[in-house]
Amino acid sequence: MTGRRLVYMDHAATTPAAPEIVEAMLPYFTERFGNPSSIYGIARESKAAIDTAREQVAHAINASPEEIYITSGGTESDNWAIKGVAYAHRKRGKRIITSAIEHHAVLHTCQYLERQGFEVTYLPVDEFGRVSLSALADAITDETILVSIMAANNEIGTLEPIADCARICRERGVYFHTDAVQAIGSVPVDVRAQDVDLLSLSAHKFYGPKGIGALYIRKGVRLDNLLHGGSQEQRHRAGTENLAGIVGMGAAIERAVGRQEEYARRLTSLRKRLLSGIMERIEHVRLNGHPTERLPGNLNCSFEFIEGEGMLLLLDHAGVAASTGSACTSGSLEPSHVLLAIGLEHATAHGSLRLTLGESNTEADVDYVLEALPPIVERLRTMSPLYADYRRSCNVQ
Amino acid sequence: MTGRRLVYMDHAATTPAAPEIVEAMLPYFTERFGNPSSIYGIARESKAAIDTAREQVAHAINASPEEIYITSGGTESDNWAIKGVAYAHRKRGKRIITSAIEHHAVLHTCQYLERQGFEVTYLPVDEFGRVSLSALADAITDETILVSIMAANNEIGTLEPIADCARICRERGVYFHTDAVQAIGSVPVDVRAQDVDLLSLSAHKFYGPKGIGALYIRKGVRLDNLLHGGSQEQRHRAGTENLAGIVGMGAAIERAVGRQEEYARRLTSLRKRLLSGIMERIEHVRLNGHPTERLPGNLNCSFEFIEGEGMLLLLDHAGVAASTGSACTSGSLEPSHVLLAIGLEHATAHGSLRLTLGESNTEADVDYVLEALPPIVERLRTMSPLYADYRRSCNVQ
């Protein structure tokens, strides 16, 4: 362990852009840079490049190109979907339903809307992080205008039954939005088969660039614009198009969805090796999230008696990049809202570690972590008053 | 004239990213790709890169780094500034003042707010496109919460007296926002000397990448967030940071502001050569915008009796990329709101051409356009019934 090696296991936070994706983007910074809204040669080339990327995104999720609206990323897409529907339909009703374990881009948007007079129901989840379909059906009232349930949780990896949620919403005439930021490229996503009305995605989660994403808006769904200005995106999302980013997103989603099955198979195998290795080597560990219905690359465990942050620091020292949960909330001292929602005690939630596998990871990486992690946990437990208490209570000493 | 040569004279629509800027961005796509909110090595590197870029942006406009909030571009910055202040202060008052010649990112945002119950005053401008300070002062009431006046107009290049506007607003206790998207790199911008509260900028206008911009928010100014979610940007603008874009914006603004004087001198000289050449060679031409108080690279002329679109198509054929006005509204059949606001008739407004010079342009480019343009205007006038009427009325034939 020299600390030189980098084992990156935080692919849920972000992925590197694949070299061939960056290669595809490069001409659009310096040579093919024309503003796609203009009419001369290089502008027409830009427009054609955007058309191609839009088709790639549409094809990847089985939508039509005119249902794909480009945004600056998953957060903008989530904000637009939720505020856009809320503002456009508030005369019909001011009730929104979501789950307690959504990404903050959904939760904080809903909380903002609550301050504007909307009422939001936060559905609880079971011990594995799954929403209950009967609870969803019960929560819908005549004033409900939108349900937003994520496709896959970013912290614990649990897959939600979005096709079933969508079916319930369709029957009740309520729009259904899903944040599929973590799902694209890892599990199949099909807006027709799953019958969703709105879907958010973000390129940097599937080996594309940061700062670019999309909102799928099913034809006929009506929502207010979030960004007003120029006539871009069929007059629904203003702002000069991020040309290189869009080209990168198109190429990246085509690549990701094309290799999704193989990617999922490989990561599932690595994840199982990692999980069983941890369980064999370390005591008092709990797997968070669903045992099987989860993202292939996501492993989230709680290590009793210690703090996740200590693990991160020592793992970083050993050259392993990991996280305790969402990157967006690091710096916060609050335990994860997701781990609390699945029933963990504060102390246990604080001892959680998220390892998310991706393209670069190998069996050697897994084995390296399996070598590095046990002494780290042991060292932290040695320092832990909670662990000392526990051992005394067991009369181990 | 082979049509092979490309003379790009639409720098107000967008600029190519400078090669050294793209070079600076490259490592942040594939190697230094860590999510800046995480705590391990490559994430800390990302955070440091963002800190540097924020300092570069701050230094360029004489702000403090903590007053710089990164956005996806000028449109988001304008939307955030205006909606953010409107929603945060609506209990104090619901009146906003702007000018009739703002970019659509400002105008359409204001129109959206009107539909939400706000009242917006659109100040007229004089024949050169300048707002009147006395009209501004008269328009402010106790219910006024925000004034938004652009630093430089994107169509006719007119510079607005923003320091004077800001002084009036300060005296009356009203926030002052300026859309400085066209100004940065072309004319001096100094948020302290000009005493503005909020300022929008966009990297792709100064040889940086598209899809990235910033909003300057003076310390103490209170506004609602536009994008809710993670804790990025001091909890004021959620979303995983567009790392490569931010690095590019920082490098590009430092480069642009460092060479601003020389850039302005060179473009002013080229513009004068272009204008006097056009005036010498073509009859019935009118210069739009202020004769001296204008962006160095902006030339906007109306050619009587013909349509701007015809000129664009034939110029494109000759390898010259130009525009009739804002790229964001092309496709619209409406004449430019800016040209109407300075008093042009519809027909004259339709015959306008915008040539905006930039780094790549040379005297040879100007001379090429001066050779290409007269026969194009002549050809279009030959086809023009308006011109035939005019000549008959003059008894020329």
- CATH code of the domain covering residue A263: 3.90.1150.10
Residue A1 scores a pLDDT above 50: no
Q: Are residues A102 and A26 in the same domain?
A: yes
Q: Do A321 and B30 touch (CB under 8 A)?
A: no
The percentage of residues in chain B with a pLDDT greater than 70, rounded to a whole number, is: 96
What pairs with residue B381 in β-bridges? none
Chain A: closest CA distance from residue B164 (Å): 26
Chain B: closest CA distance from residue A293 (Å): 26
Q: Does any domain span residue A1?
A: no
Mean confidence (pLDDT) of chain B = 95
Which of A158, A272, A253 is CA-nearest to residue A199?
A: A253
> Going by DSSP bridges, is the β-strand pair A298-303/A285-287 parallel, antiparallel, or unpaired?
antiparallel
Q: Are residues A306 and A200 in the same domain?
A: no
pLDDT at A3 (0 to 100): 43
Q: Are residues A224 and A295 in the same domain?
A: no
The percentage of residues in chain A with a pLDDT greater than 90, rounded to a whole number, is: 91
Q: Are residues B188 and B274 in the same domain?
A: no
- Please name the member of B37, B78, B239 whose beta carbon is closest to the beta carbon of A229: B78
Q: Does any domain span residue A269?
A: yes
Mutation for testing the A interface, residue in B9, B14, B32, B336 having most A CBs under 10 Å: B14
Q: How confident is the model at residue B330 (pLDDT cuts 50, 70, 90)?
A: low
State how far the Cα of B387 lies from the Cα of A341, in Å rounded to an integer: 74
Q: How confident is the model at residue B1 (pLDDT cuts 50, 70, 90)?
A: very low
State how far the Cα of B52 lies from the Cα of B36, in Å rounded to an integer: 13
Q: Does any domain span residue A162?
A: yes
State how far the Cα of B254 lies from the Cα of B216, in Å rounded to an integer: 16
Q: Are residues B206 and B329 in the same domain?
A: no
Q: Are residues B292 and B149 in the same domain?
A: no
Q: Are residues A53 and A172 in the same domain?
A: yes
Q: Which residues contact B138 (CB under 8 A, 6 or more apart)?
A: none
Element of type H or E holding A21: helix A19-25
Determine the 3-state secondary structure of A123 from DSSP: strand
| Phi, psi of A268, rounded to the nearest 5 degrees | -60, -45
pLDDT at A335 (0 to 100): 87
Q: What average pLDDT does this structure show over A188-209?
A: 98
- Residue in the structure block whose two tokens are 């699945």: A342
Q: What is the pLDDT of residues B108-151, one digit of tens each?
A: 999 999 999 999 999 999 999 999 999 999 999 999 999 999 99
Provide the residue range defining the domain that includes A231.
19-258
Q: Do B228 and A109 touch (CB under 8 A)?
A: yes
Q: What average pLDDT does this structure show over A221-248?
A: 96
pLDDT at A325 (0 to 100): 74
Residue A52 scores a pLDDT above 60: yes
Torsion of CA B303, B307, B308, B309, to 10 degrees: -160
Q: Are residues B104 and B237 in the same domain?
A: yes
Residues of A in contact with B226 (CB under 8 A): 79, 226
Q: Do B204 and A240 touch (CB under 8 A)?
A: yes
Which of A281, A280, A294, A290 is CA-nearest to residue A357?
A: A294
Q: Which of B258, B276, B310 is the last residue of a domain?
A: B258
Residues of A in contact with B334 (CB under 8 A): none
Q: Does any domain span residue B2?
A: no
- Please name the member of A43, A105, A225 whose beta carbon is closest to the beta carbon of B230: A105
First to last CA, chain B: 31
State how far the Cα of A322 lies from the Cα of A298, in Å rounded to an integer: 11
Least confident of A140-144, B37-41, B157-161, B296-300: B37-41
- Residue in the structure block whose two tokens are 């042009």: B344
Chain A: closest CA distance from residue B360 (Å): 12
Residue of chain A nearest B70, judged by CA positions: A211
Q: What average pLDDT does this structure show over B227-245?
A: 95
Residues of A in contact with B26 (CB under 8 A): 22
Q: Do A202 and B79 touch (CB under 8 A)?
A: no
Q: Are residues A100 and A153 in the same domain?
A: yes
Q: Are residues B219 and B349 in the same domain?
A: no
Q: Do A8 and B326 touch (CB under 8 A)?
A: no
Q: How confident is the model at residue A2 (pLDDT cuts 50, 70, 90)?
A: very low
For the annotated catalytic residues of A, the residue numbers are 328
Q: Which residues contact B278 (CB under 8 A, 6 or more apart)?
A: B285, B299, B301, B370, B373
Q: Are residues A247 and A197 in the same domain?
A: yes
- CATH code of the domain covering residue B73: 3.40.640.10
Residues of B in contact with A109 (CB under 8 A): 228-229
- Please name the member of B239, B309, B321 whose beta carbon is closest to the beta carbon of A72: B239
Residue B325 scores a pLDDT above 90: no
Q: How confident is the model at residue B41 (pLDDT cuts 50, 70, 90)?
A: confident
pLDDT at B91 (0 to 100): 96
Q: Which of B225, B258, B291 is the last residue of a domain?
A: B258
What's the number of domains chain B is made of? Answer: 2
pLDDT at A330 (0 to 100): 55
Q: What is the pLDDT of residues A344-364, one digit of tens each?
A: 999 899 999 999 999 999 999
Residue A328 scores a pLDDT above 60: no
Q: How many CB atoms lie within 10 A of CB A386?
A: 14
Q: What is the pLDDT of residues A53-71, one digit of tens each?
A: 999 999 999 999 999 999 9
> Going by DSSP bridges, is the β-strand pair B320-321/B7-8 parallel, antiparallel, or unpaired?
parallel
Q: What is the pLDDT of residues A144-177, one digit of tens each?
A: 999 999 999 999 999 999 999 999 999 999 999 9
- Please name the member of B39, B104, B241 whose beta carbon is closest to the beta carbon of A210: B241
Residues of B in contact with A18 (CB under 8 A): 30
Q: Do A13 and B30 touch (CB under 8 A)?
A: no
Q: How confident is the model at residue A98 (pLDDT cuts 50, 70, 90)?
A: very high
Q: Does any domain span residue A233?
A: yes
Greatest extent of chain B over all pairs of C-alpha atoms, in Å: 81
Q: Are residues A147 and A248 in the same domain?
A: yes
